[in-house]
Amino acid sequence: MKTRSIRIGMGIGALALAALACGAQNDEGRENAFLVGVPEEGALQLSITDDPTAEALASDDDQVGASLSSDELGSLSLHLDAPAADGLARPRAAVQELNQALRDFLQPIAALVRSQEPDQVTGNVAQWGPVTRGTTEYRFFVRKGILRRFGWLLQARPDGSSDEFANVAAGAIQVGAVVRRGRGVAGVDLDVLGEVDPTVHARGQVLAAFAHGPAGTVLAYGLRDFTRGADDTTPIDAAFQGVHLTDGFNRVRLAFHGNLPETASSAKELVLARVRHHRGEGGRADLLVTGGDIANGKIWLVSECWSAQLASSYRVVRECPGDGIGGARCVEQSSKGDPAACLRDLAQPEFPPADAEAHMDDPESPEADLAPPTEMPSGDAPTDG
Amino acid sequence: MKRSVHAASAWLAPFLLPVALACGSTGVGNPVTGELSLAIVSDDDEVGAAQPAPELSLDDGAANALAPDGAPPSEPLPRGALQRAVLVLGSVRWLPCDVAAEVVTQSGPFVVDLLAGETRPALPAFQVPEGGVCGFDAPLAPGRSAEFFGRSLLFTGVRADGVRFVLFANMRATLRVRAARGQVWHVNDEQDRTLFWAMRPRRWAGAQELANEDPSDAGGQRTLVIDADRHPLLWARIRARLASQSAMFFDQDDNGVLDAADRSAGEVGTGTTDPED
């Protein structure tokens, strides 16, 4: 019954998504021409199960243009009462932290441009602000190029300061069929943003490339010295990747610090994760775990599958020599459930690269493989592509 | 013939006049009433500490177990310590004393800047239902303007040691204000009246409570950023005090200013905060 209601909910969610896309397309004629190229949370967010709370996904308040909701999809998992599988819960927490860090710079942008005409338009450049939010003064620029190409730049400084505005985030997009969707790059310097806005706790840099197409979205992030806040003393340098297909299949690749329950103490290990999830059916995580309680030269492999209700159906933990993760020298540490409980097309493990920053090919990507930019974008409109 | 019509009109006038007046009222059979306005003001004079809360420094677990009751801090913030105190109210829902009557809803968001003394947009006056109103609910809601988009509370100032404190967040709560026991907020005949909602932001946090918390560095300035994750107890106390440390007064002398004449008539209502986590 629960599964059936979830499927019905998914159908409604899919219809809502379709309506959302059509609505966004139709809004173009009514919007300011510069808004077409403005970044927003829904375009850059990573997701696994499309649960808006667990993964800090975009809501109406994150939309730059017409008010559109992603709550319909979120309702899929709101009524699930079993705890989510550990192999899913921890990656979802990492997704939430990334999405929240993106919101740190995207919410001021939405605040400046939503329902507001630019304060100044000079040639092909529109400016919104400066506006003081809390104790920080923000201003935002969009540069319109040719053929639906846009660049954008967010600047900030402490309220009352006479210092120059600092560049805190920038990006570029070639808009596709839907407004604010297409191919492009974005970057936020959370170190600079946190210096001028004390309410921003995350630190480091997040650089992203994205491509939205009719079959789905492809995202690639480069995280540099990323921490979620001052209490997080273990910065991450890693590549995050995501493929979200419109038929409800999400594949992500992540890295995070967290305690593996099967280890001896609560010390945090470094976890490299490949997570695949079919909305309303279930999913699988394959993790490479090092550091913390795990001896030098060893690597622990964790595979876990979960049901449509996100409850664990199979989990196995193996210790392997660091130079060979799949061989017979691996020793099983623990096992629960039945591997046959995994979805048929998720029966085989798919581990991420052992190098957290190495690119992971995704042959099923609908928009080809993407790599994040190697440095902060300039904010200029792209001139090729 | 014309003369006879005039004569009949004169004869009927005493009977027709009340009927005409009744038809001009708000509803069938309702008498004409005046309008009630709500003015939200910062009350800086009445800072006391009748029943201070114990000023504890608790870890997160203990903080979660403790439900702040909105008692005032033992030592309110000194004058001049506050820089901004702004609330965003999603709506104000007036509750008729007659539970069968319709709730009067004023839809916002209303940005209430207490230190600047302004509410944007101004709360409209409304016609009081027959039987009066016995309170109102005012949920906090994220603002829509660029300045407060996505946030419902801004509370900033400077501690005694020079450390800046900042609370700028989408706090979720409903502020509930009720008429004092046995009282009804009503308007006589056609006389308009103003109710003052006197809020006391200097009581939202105690000087010692702020001093107990560790600041961080931002832009070379020591700053205490108050949020629900890092300072759950202080967060909960501030939320509880928004309404509980407020009071209601009628504008007795009708001069638009909360003054001694209004205070001497006594408080006509009290508040509580209902968290919505």
Which residue from A115, A116, A195 is facing B219, i.e. has the nearest CB? A195
Contact: B219, A158; criterion CB under 8 Å = yes
Q: Would you call A82 an interface residue with chain B, using a CB distance cutoff of 8 Å? A: no
Nearest CB to A199 within list B142, B146, B225: B225
pLDDT tens sequence across B203-212: 999 999 999 9
Based on the structure, what is the number of domains in chain A?
Answer: 1
Cα–Cα separations (whole angstroms), residue A138 to A50, A197, A248, A283, A291? 31, 10, 37, 41, 41
By C-alpha distance, the chain B residue nearest A133 is B147
Residue A94 amino acid letter: A
What are the boundaries of each domain within chain B? 1-32, 34-275
Residue A294 included in any domain: yes
In B16-103 the beta strands, taken as DSSP E runs, fall at 35-42, 82-96
Interface test with B, best of A115, A135, A193 (most B CBs within 10 A): A135
Alpha-carbon gap, residue A208 to A377, rounded angstroms: 10
Lowest mean pLDDT among A251-260, A338-347, B111-120, B186-195: B186-195
One digit per residue, the tens of pLDDT, for chain A of length 385 reads 344 444 444 444 444 444 444 444 445 556 788 999 999 999 999 999 999 889 889 888 888 876 453 433 334 444 455 689 999 999 999 999 999 999 999 999 999 998 889 999 999 999 999 999 999 999 999 999 998 999 999 999 999 899 999 999 999 999 998 999 999 999 999 999 999 999 999 999 999 999 999 999 999 999 999 998 877 888 999 999 999 998 899 999 999 999 999 999 999 999 999 999 999 999 999 999 999 999 999 999 999 999 999 999 999 999 998 776 666 789 999 999 999 999 999 999 999 999 999 999 888 888 888 999 999 998 887 765 4
Alpha carbon distance A30, A23 (integer Å): 11
Neighbours of A103 (CB within 10 A): 21
Chain A interface, mutation test: which of B144, B223, B225, most A Cβ atoms within 10 Å?
A: B225
- For B236-246, what is each residue's pLDDT tens digit? 999 999 999 99
Tell me whether residues B216 and A198 touch, CB distance under 8 A.
yes
Contact A198 B166 (CB under 8 A): yes
- Report how far residue A101's alpha carbon sits from residue A96's, in angstroms, rounded to the nearest whole number: 9
For residue A289, give the amino acid letter: V
Domain housing A148? 2-346
Q: Name the pairing type of β-strands B35-42 and B193-199.
A: parallel
Q: Is residue A161 one of the residues assigned to a domain?
A: yes
CA distance B139 to B107: 11
Q: Is the sign of the CA dihedral A90, A93, A94, A95 positive or negative?
A: positive
Is A30 in a helix, a strand, or coil?
Answer: helix
List of chain B residues whose C-beta atoms are within 8 Å of the C-beta of residue A135: 156, 164, 166, 168
- Element at A281 (helix H, strand E): none
Cα–Cα distances in angstroms (integers) from residue A185 to residues A43, A153, A339, A376, B248, in the given order: 11, 12, 39, 9, 53
B164-169/B118-120 β-pairing: unpaired
On the question of pLDDT at B192 being above 60, the answer is: yes
Question: B219 Cβ partners below 8 Å, 6+ apart?
Answer: A158, A195, A196, A198
Position A365 in a domain: no
Locate the DSSP E strands across chain A.
120-122, 125-133, 136-144, 149-158, 166-175, 182-189, 203-213, 216-227, 236-245, 249-258, 269-278, 282-290, 298-306, 312-321, 331-337
Mutation target to probe the B interface, by most B beta carbons within 10 A, among A199, A203, A232, A233 is A199
Q: Which residues of A touch B144 (CB under 8 A)?
A: 115
Residue type, B236: A
Among chain B residues, CA nearest to A131: B147
Nearest by CB to residue A135, choosing from B144, B166, B227, is: B166
Q: What count of residues does chain A have?
A: 385
**Position A56 in a domain:** yes
| A332 shares contact with chain B (CB less than 8 Å) | no
As a whole number, the mean pLDDT across chain B is 82
**Is B8 within 8 Å of B15 (Cβ atoms)?**
no
Question: In A, which residues are within 8 Å of B164 by CB distance?
Answer: 135, 198
Give yes or no for A135 touching B (CB within 8 A).
yes
Range B77-89 burial, b when 16+ CB lie within 10 A, else e: beeebbbbbbbbb
Tell me, what's the ipTM?
A: 0.79
Q: What is the b/e burial string over B34-57, where b = at least 16 CB atoms within 10 angstroms of the residue's CB?
A: bebbbbbbbbeeebeeeeebeeee
Q: Tell me the shortest Cα–Cα distance from B101 to chain A, in angstroms.
A: 33
Range list of β-strands (E), B45-120: 82-96, 104-113, 118-120
Pair B174, B273: CB distance under 8 Å: yes
Name B147's Cβ contacts closer than 8 Å, sequence gap at least 6.
A111, A131, A132, A133, B111
- CA angle, A113 then A63 then A279, to 5°: 160
Taking the Cβ of residue A37 and every Cβ of chain B, the question of whether any pair is shorter than 8 Å is answered with: no
**Closest listed residue to residue B109, CA positions, set A105, A115, A117:** A115
Q: Looking at beta carbons, which residues of chain B come within 8 Å of A201?
A: 225
Q: Is the pLDDT of residue B1 over 80?
A: no
8 Å CB contact between B207 and B159? yes
Say yes or no: A115 contacts chain B, CB-CB below 8 A.
Answer: yes
Instruction: Please report residues of B whose CB lies closer than 8 A to that of A160.
Output: none
- Furthest C-alpha separation in chain A: 67
Chain B nearest-CA distance from A165, in A, is: 13
Asked which of A111-120, A294-303, B13-22, B115-124 is least confident by mean pLDDT, the reply is B13-22
pLDDT at A231 (0 to 100): 76
Mean of the pLDDT values across residues B102-126?
Answer: 95
Is A376 a member of any domain? no
The answer to whether the Cβ–Cβ distance between B150 and A199 falls below 8 Å is no
Q: Do B227 and A199 touch (CB under 8 A)?
A: yes
- Beta-strand pair B82-96/B104-113: antiparallel
A131: nearest CB among B146, B154, B216: B146
Measured over the CA atoms of residue A345, residue A350, residue A356 and residue A360, the dihedral's sign is negative
Between A111, A196, A201, which is nearest B219 by CB?
Answer: A196
A110/B150 Cα distance (integer angstroms): 9
Amino acid residing at A351:
F
**pLDDT tier, B188 (very low <50, low <70, confident <90, very high otherwise):** confident
Closest residue on chain B to A111 (Cα) = B146
Would you call A90 helix, strand, or coil by DSSP? Answer: helix
CB contact under 8 A, A134 and B142: no
Domain assignment of residue A371, yes or no: no
- Residue the block writes with tokens 């979200």: A244
Facing residue for A199 by CB, picked from B142, B145, B168: B168
Minimal Cα distance from B220: which residue of A? A195
pLDDT in tens, B45-95: 655 444 444 444 444 344 444 456 778 887 889 888 999 999 999 999 999
Q: What is the pLDDT of residue B73?
A: 85
Q: What is the pLDDT of residue A17?
A: 42
